[in-house]
């Protein structure tokens, strides 16, 4: 009798597990499925082991945002960034045949192989802000999106995009995207620029915003002068484009 009750409790717990994303050990444990029990369920076909610390229900279809939200809990600072964040928030230029989601994080990490079957991603560790940047500044879930998936706000995503200019993104497309950012929140833009530590990013922001006569041009110029950095910043990126950024007068 006790054995029958235990078998029934397994089925009941599995029926209550969330669908659409990987199941971590904490989620399983919260539903009464400890590590040894999870291994037994894998052997009996009730669970699939995706990789270390990640499981899925047989027949379940993993969804992009659920998977990324799962990783955001595992990797410090992981969030949807740059060009992808702008596109998800309605600022886009070219539609890609197959999207590559740009992810940024605070620490090097090897993303799990099972993610390849769900979404193509590019993960990067880049520190363009000073360490005293308030945690979560310019990060928020999409309205109506997954509540646990941080996505850069347009103001932060723009600065992340500028940092990738010449290395991952071409200058012309970046310019066209920047031109679409006329409705940025100036207080947030000012605060982010105030914590910016990369000369390339602030000079490129000042140059493009000035050329395109954007409302936040004066802010970018002000912070470009603050960072200084000599008369000229020159680099040739992976795309082969030469960036020649003079100091803001």
Q: Report, as an integer, the average pLDDT of 128-146.
A: 97
120 and 242, same domain (yes or no): yes
Which DSSP category does 19 fall into? S
Per-residue pLDDT, 81: 99
CB within 8 Å of 21: residues ≥ 6 apart: 62, 63, 66, 67, 69, 70
Classify residue 40 by burial, with Cβ atoms within 10 Å: 0-12, 13-18, 19+.
middle
Examine the fold and report which residue of 35, 56, 77 is the final residue of a domain before the chain moves on.
Answer: 56
| pLDDT tens per residue, range 60-80 | 999 999 999 999 999 999 999
CB neighbour list of residue 218: distance below 8 Å, 6 or more residues apart:
none
Burial tier of 93 (Cβ tally within 10 Å: 0-12, 13-18, 19+): middle
Say whether both 88 and 141 belong to one domain.
yes
More confident residue, 77 or 6: 77
Whether residue 8 has pLDDT greater than 90? no
Say yes or no: 206 and 97 in one domain.
yes
If asked whether residues 86 and 121 sit together in one domain, one would say yes
pLDDT for res 13:
79
Q: Are 160 and 147 in contact (CB under 8 A)?
A: no
Q: How far apart are CA 38 and CA 29, in angstroms?
A: 9
Whether 42 and 69 map to the same domain: the answer is no
Same-domain pairing of 152 and 208: yes
Is there a single domain that holds both residue 84 and residue 191?
A: yes
Let me know whether 52 and 152 are in one domain: no
Query: How many CA atoms, within 13 angstroms, populate the side-chain half-sphere of residue 47?
Result: 31
Whether residues 38 and 90 fall in one domain: no
Does pLDDT of 1 surpass 80?
no
Answer yes or no: do 74 and 180 share one domain: yes
Residue 139 has pLDDT above 90, yes or no: yes
Report the predicted TM-score, pTM, of the whole model to 2 decimal places.
Answer: 0.90
Whether residues 48 and 100 share a domain: the answer is no
The pLDDT assigned to 14 comes to 76
C-alpha dist (Å) from residue 222 to 132, 133, 233, 247? 20, 19, 17, 11
Residue 5, both tokens: 């009750």
Q: Does residue 233 surpass a pLDDT of 70?
A: no
Q: How confident is the model at residue 5 (pLDDT cuts 50, 70, 90)?
A: very low
- Classify 205 as helix, strand or coil: helix
Please give the average per-residue pLDDT across 163-181, as a whole number.
92
Contact in structure between 154 and 86 (CB atoms under 8 Å):
yes
Sheet of strand 151-152, all strands in order from the earlier edge strand to the far edge: 120-125, 100-105, 79-80, 151-152, 139-140
pLDDT of 234 reads 61
Is pLDDT above 80 for 244?
Answer: no
Q: How many domains does the chain have?
A: 2
Q: What's the pLDDT score for residue 65? A: 98
Q: Which residues make beta-bridge pairs with 169?
A: 165
Say if residue 49 is in the same domain as residue 75: no
Determine the structural domain holding residue 33 and report its residue range: 2-56
């Amino acid at each position: 009798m006790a054995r029958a009750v235990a078998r029934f409790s397994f089925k009941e717990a599995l029926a209550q597990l969330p669908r659409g994303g990987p199941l971590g050990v904490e989620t399983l444990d919260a539903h009464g499925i400890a590590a040894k029990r999870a291994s037994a369920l894998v052997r009996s076909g009730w669970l699939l082991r995706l990789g270390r610390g990640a499981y899925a229900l047989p027949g379940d279809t993993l969804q992009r945002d659920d998977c990324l939200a799962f990783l955001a809990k595992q990797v410090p600072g992981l969030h949807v960034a740059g060009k992808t964040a702008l596109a998800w928030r309605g600022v886009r230029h070219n539609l890609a045949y197959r999207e590559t989601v740009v992810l940024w994080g605070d620490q090097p990490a090897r993303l799990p192989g099972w993610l390849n079957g769900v979404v193509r991603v590019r993960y990067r560790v880049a520190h363009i802000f000073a360490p005293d940047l308030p945690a979560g500044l310019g990060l928020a879930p999409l309205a109506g999106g997954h509540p646990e998936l941080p996505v850069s706000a347009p103001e932060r995503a723009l600065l992340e995009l500028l940092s990738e200019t010449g290395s991952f993104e071409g200058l012309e497309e970046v310019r066209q995207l920047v031109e679409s950012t006329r409705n940025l929140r100036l207080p947030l833009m000012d605060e982010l620029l105030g914590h910016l530590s990369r000369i390339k990013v602030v000079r490129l922001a000042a140059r493009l915003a000035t050329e395109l006569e954007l409302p936040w041009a004066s802010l970018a110029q002000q912070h470009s002068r603050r960072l200084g950095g000599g008369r000229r910043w020159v680099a040739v990126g992976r795309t082969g484009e030469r960036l020649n950024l003079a100091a803001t007068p």
